[in-house]
Amino acid sequence: MTTPCIITVAITGSLPQKSDNPAVPITVAEQVESTHAAFEAGATLVHAHVRKDDGSPTSDPERFARLIEGVRKHCPGMIIQLSTGGRSGAGRERGGMIPLKPDMCSLSTGSCNFPTRVYENSPELVDWLAGEMQANGVKPEIEAFDLSMIFQAAAMQQAGKINGPLHVQFVMGVKNAMPVDRDVFEFYVKTLKRLAPDATWTGAGIGRDQVTLVRWSLELGGHCRTGLEDNVRLDRNTLAPSNAALVRQASDLCAEYGRRPATVAEARQLLSLRAAR
Ligand SMILES: [Zn+2]
Q: What is the 3-state secondary structure (H, E, C) of the chain?
A: CCCCECEEEECCCCCCCCCCCCCCCCCHHHHHHHHHHHHHCCCCEEEECEECCCCCEECCHHHHHHHHHHHHHHCCCCEEEECCCCCCCCHHHHHCCHHHCCCEEEEECCCEECCCCEECCCHHHHHHHHHHHHHCCCEEEEEECCHHHHHHHHHHHHCCCCCCCCEEEEEECCCCCCCCCHHHHHHHHHHHHHHCCCCEEEEEECHHHHHHHHHHHHHCCCEEEECCCCCCEEECCEECCCHHHHHHHHHHHHHHHCCCECCHHHHHHHCCCCCCC
pTM higher than 0.75 for the full model?
Answer: yes
What's the pLDDT at 277?
Answer: 59
Are 129 and 98 contacting, i.e. CB atoms less than 8 angstroms apart?
Answer: yes
Provide the pLDDT for residue 49.
Answer: 97
Q: What is the mean pLDDT of residues 6-10?
A: 98
Question: Taking residues 110-118, what's their average pLDDT?
Answer: 94
At what angle are helices 61-74 and 28-40 packed, to 10 degrees? Answer: 30
Examine the pLDDT at 116 and tell me if it is beyond 70.
Answer: yes
33 CA distance to ligand 1 middle (Å): 18
Residue 78 has pLDDT above 80, yes or no: yes
User: What is the Å distance from ligand 1's center to 16 Cα?
Assistant: 11
pLDDT tops 90 at residue 39: yes
- Residue 275 has what pLDDT? 83
Asked if residue 13 has pLDDT above 90, the reply is yes
Yes or no: say if 187 and 147 are a contact pair by the CB < 8 Å rule. Answer: yes
pLDDT for the residue numbered 123: 96
Burial of 53 (C-beta count, 10 Å sphere; 0-12/13-18/19+): exposed
Q: How far is the CA of 225 from the centre of ligand 1 (A)?
A: 11
In the reported structure, the alpha carbon of residue 12 is separated from the centroid of ligand 1 by a whole-number distance in angstroms of 8
Is the confidence at residue 74, as pLDDT, over 80? yes
Tell me the CA–centroid distance for residue 229 and ligand 1, in Å. 7
Q: Is the pLDDT of residue 87 over 90?
A: no
pLDDT tops 80 at residue 152: yes
CA of 161 to the centre of ligand 1 (A): 22
Residues contacting residue 64 through CB under 8 Å, at least 6 positions apart = 48, 50, 82, 97, 100, 102
Q: Give the lowest-confidence range in 66-80, 89-103, 165-179, 225-239.
A: 89-103
Q: How far is the CA of 1 from the centre of ligand 1 (A)?
A: 31
Distance 26 CA to ligand 1 centre (A): 14
User: Who has greater pLDDT, 1 or 178?
Assistant: 178
Q: Distance of CA 194 to CAs 22, 141, 227, Å? A: 43, 18, 30
pLDDT of residue 276: 75
d(C-alpha 76, C-alpha 275), whole Å: 11
Q: Calculate how far, in angstroms, residue 14's C-alpha sits from the geometric centre of ligand 1.
A: 7
Mean pLDDT of 179-203: 98
Mean pLDDT of the chain: 96
pLDDT score recorded for residue 90: 79
Categorize the per-residue pLDDT at 219 as very low, low, confident or very high, splitting at 50, 70 and 90.
very high
Average pLDDT over residues 126-151: 98
Q: Compute, in angstroms, the gap from residue 84 CA to the centroid of ligand 1.
A: 8
